[in-house]
């Protein structure tokens, strides 16, 4: 039977599609960032009272689903976002620690039956091409793995989804139900404005960080005001490469300007490689970059397990990992995903990239953070992490730390020397107290 005939037979409404979900099913949603199947999610919410024993798995959910309130379904989440953060912090959602680079092992050895082998996978894809292949668009993440292993795949069809090279596709024969939807108007999504003083501090951090990037480096940049700031200061570099979880608009523009060429990369030479193009909040600048990426062979999107695998990362010489941090203690322990004992975001690929950079010949790991939080009332450089806080990045792998007050170099240094380095880049208002606490903690 021709795939077009099968396609027509599978098209249905969201309500009909989610009828395939049964009692006791483990249901995985494609990661958010504009790639989440919202209509399927809302249709599933209508079945909450009739389904029993269902577990739902999210990462950066894009809507305030009713099951976040602790009723109906059990909920797991590996990366907390704005919509589920209040409920995660009330412990209504079960947080899943997850390092992306372990995905392959979890799949092969069936260590964890969660997202790698779901009963049902809900995803959004493009319309099929002439051979029946649908694209996961700008947001790939774990979709290829889940689409390969799930008992049942249900997909929304979004005509606005881009196509890229890489392993960014699934055949319609693998999808049980297809639900046509209207494109999400990402331009309507509003993010809170960045305070002016924080924006200025981030610019300084970006300039300092750019000085640590050399011609020919292969860079990875993580999400966050402080880490992303470096992208505005790279225009004078030459032949940079990109191997990154996230591809930002500025990276696309640097390709257009000839700064990013990938010529020095050991693998995927000449290609910009990632797992997601950051399309939200849908500015005109982002939409132009997305149009340039669409069907452009320079850009390749792959499953997150491949992108963050240590073998993939360390295949590159001069790999530079640039990531944000919420807090760092005086020995160099970095917290990325928790505020005290409360989940705030997720580790993502930060640990994998940091470790990979340490084992890359000529590699560097850089952590960027504003020196203060809460409008300057608290220091992000602290004597010890708050009780209940999670050590996202062990101090043994933490190398360069950047704030708006400079660069601290920690590798090979004692805890006393590390404390002195970090205090030197703390906000001046907190240095005195930090020195007192360092004396108490690290000297007799």
- With the C-alpha atoms ordered 234, 251, 184, 72, is the resulting torsion angle positive or negative? negative
User: pLDDT class for 98, splitting at 50, 70, 90?
Assistant: confident
Domain formed by 3-184, architecture = 3-Layer(aba) Sandwich (3.40)
* Segment among 105-109, 121-125, 431-435 with least mean pLDDT: 105-109
Per the CB < 8 A criterion, the answer to whether 221 and 246 are in contact is yes
Q: Name the pairing type of β-strands 272-274 and 299-301.
A: parallel
Q: Does 157 score more than 70 pLDDT? A: yes
284 part of the active site: no
Strand partners, 121: 28, 153
Whole-number pLDDT of residue 33: 72
Round to whole Å and give the CA distance between 427 and 261.
37
Domain formed by 196-442, architecture = 3-Layer(aba) Sandwich (3.40)
> pTM (2 decimals)?
0.96
pLDDT digits (tens, 9 = 90+) for 322-374: 999 999 999 999 999 999 999 999 999 999 999 999 999 999 999 999 999 99
Count the alpha carbons within 13 Å of 60 in the hemisphere toward its beta carbon: 17
Nearest to 176 by CA among 141, 218, 147: 147
The residue extents of the domains of the chain are 3-184, 196-442
Domains 3-184 and 196-442 share a fold: yes
Whole-number pLDDT of residue 117: 83
Per the CB < 8 A criterion, the answer to whether 251 and 242 are in contact is yes
Strand partners, 296: none
Catalytic residue selected from 198, 245, 253, 300: 245
């Amino acid at each position: 039977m021709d795939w077009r005939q099968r396609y027509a037979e599978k098209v249905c409404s969201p309500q009909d599609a989610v009828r395939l979900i049964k009692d006791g099913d483990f249901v995985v949603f494609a990661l958010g960032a504009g790639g989440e199947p919202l209509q399927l999610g809302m249709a599933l919410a209508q079945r909450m009272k009739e389904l029993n024993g269902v577990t739902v798995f999210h990462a950066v959910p894009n809507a305030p689903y009713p099951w976040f309130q602790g009723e109906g379904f059990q909920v797991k989440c590996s990366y907390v976002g704005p919509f589920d953060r209040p409920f995660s912090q009330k412990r209504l959602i079960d947080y899943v620690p997850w390092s992306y680079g372990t995905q392959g092992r979890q799949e092969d050895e069936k260590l964890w039956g969660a997202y790698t082998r779901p009963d049902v996978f809900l995803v959004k894809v493009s319309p099929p091409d002439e051979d029946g292949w649908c694209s996961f668009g700008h947001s790939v993440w774990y979709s290829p793995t889940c689409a390969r292993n799930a008992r049942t795949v249900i997909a929304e069809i979004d005509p606005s989804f881009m196509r890229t090279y890489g392993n960014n596709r699934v055949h319609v024969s693998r999808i049980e139900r297809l639900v046509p939807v209207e494109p999400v108007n990402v331009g309507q999504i509003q993010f809170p404005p960045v305070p002016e003083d924080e924006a200025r501090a981030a610019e300084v951090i970006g300039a300092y960080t750019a000085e640590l990037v050399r011609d020919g480096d292969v860079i990875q940049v993580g999400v966050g005001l402080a880490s992303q700031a470096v992208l505005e200061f790279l225009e004078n570099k030459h032949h940079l490469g990109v191997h990154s979880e996230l591809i930002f608009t500025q990276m696309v523009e640097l390709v257009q300007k000839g700064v990013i060429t990938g010529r020095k990369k050991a693998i995927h030479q000449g290609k910009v490689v990632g797992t997601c193009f950051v399309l939200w909040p849908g500015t005109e600048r982002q939409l132009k970059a997305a149009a340039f990426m669409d069907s452009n062979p320079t850009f390749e999107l792959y499953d997150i397990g491949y992108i963050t695998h240590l073998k993939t990362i360390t295949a590159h010489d001069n790999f530079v990992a640039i990531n944000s941090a919420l807090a760092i203690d005086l020995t160099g322990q970095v917290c990325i995903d928790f505020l005290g004992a409360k989940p705030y975001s997720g580790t993502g690929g930060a640990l994998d990239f940091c470790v990979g950079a340490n084992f890359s010949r000529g590699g560097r790991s850089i952590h960027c953070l504003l020196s203060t939080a809460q409008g300057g009332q608290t220091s992000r450089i602290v004597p010890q992490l708050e009780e209940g806080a999670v050590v996202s990045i062990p101090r043994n792998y933490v190398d360069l730390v950047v704030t708006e007050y400079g660069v601290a170099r920690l590798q090979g240094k004692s805890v006393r020397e590390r404390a002195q380095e970090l205090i030197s880049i703390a906000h001046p208002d907190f240095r005195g107290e930090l020195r007192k606490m360092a004396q108490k903690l690290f000297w007799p």
